[in-house]
Amino acid sequence: MSRSVLVTGASGLLGGRVATLLAARGHRVRTFQRRPAAAGAVDTVLGSLTDADAVARAADGVDAVVHLAAKVSFAGAWDEFRSTNIDGTRTLLAAARTGGAVDFVQVSSPSVAHFGASLAGARAAPADPGRARGNYARSKAAAELLALAEDSPGFRVAAIRPHVVWGPGDTQLVERVLARARAGRLPLLDRGAALIDTTYIDNAASAIVRALERMDQAHGRPLVVTNGEPRPVGELIAGICAAGGVRAPAWAVPGWLARGAGAGIERAWTAAGRRGWVRDEPPMTRFLAEQLSTAHWFDQRETRATLDWRPEVGLDEGLRRLAAHYGTLPSDGSGGPA
């Protein structure tokens, strides 16, 4: 059944992929974002989540909303995260209800329930803003709770938590890994032994769309989405570096040292950012150090059963596609990073 669907944050890699997939499945797609992009969109509304009038225009008359827009950063002032990720979600929820939407997919993050300790085969624990690590995770946790609190028979809400999304064109993970490895600024924490799972971009997009199609089963709860292929973080970084034609990092730092240093760097970076002295991401934060030195992989049985979904692109195939994107794949298309 064709529906009118609003996708926020469609200028980003994942949002754009979701909009394109929805359009390919016959839905009428409207996008809401701060800058033009919107592949696959029928129409686009430009604006910010902090502008209630623009949000209302975007949500008017749609049947469903997929909310991906967010401030994503390892550092930054709390007010910036609050205004976009929390207040912006609250504004969008109200506008969606007023505009006639009956389904709402909140795209969240497993970091909303990651409190610094290892997660091995974990299920989707409740979001906890008080214990989540870093302003991004805390704000996304609060936003997820706001969204799920609105779930009702007449306004169904599901929270989908894709974990470490990556793929060709990714600037959040892939380009940062390559840039830091190229500059010699990417250490392996605890020798890269922590086991983590990730999500290839096509799989993340298809799971989000599937959640919208399976709202009868998905609404009212969070679901973590991954490839279901946990690997040591050092192996994943090496695979990305090989695909990008960059030498993988070979130097190691104890995780405890990186976590302590990251906390201090994050405070200094945030203070400098308020003064306009820095605009890029800090080289390390406590949250990032924890992500690189603790296991975080998840039991996918509930997600796959609820969504009646399986990832179509495996990790090794994803790395092969990444190598093709960077032109490092052999000319015959065979081989590629493992």
- Strand 199-200 and strand 252-253: the pairing is unpaired
Structure tokens at 171: 């600037």
Distance separating alpha carbons of residues 214 and 211, to the nearest angstrom:
5
- Give 205-252 as a DSSP string: HHHHHHHHHTHHHHTTSEEEE--S--EEHHHHHHHHHHHHT-PPP--E
Q: Is 11 left (phi over 0), alpha (psi -120 to 50) or beta?
A: alpha
215: nearest Cα among 289, 306, 107, 110: 306
54 Cα distance to chain centroid: 24
DSSP character for 111?
G
103 in Cβ contact with 27 (< 8 Å): no
Distance separating alpha carbons of residues 264 and 297, to the nearest angstrom:
27
Alpha carbons within 13 angstroms on the beta-carbon side of residue 208 total 34
DSSP character for 280?
S
The owner of tokens 């997929």 is 66
Q: What distance, in Å, lies between the first and last C-alpha atoms of the chain?
A: 40
- Give 118-157 as a DSSP string: -EEEE--PPP-TTTSSHHHHHHHHHHHHHHHHT-BTTBEE
**Residues marked as catalytic:** 136
Q: Which helix (H) or strand (E) holds 158?
A: strand 156-162
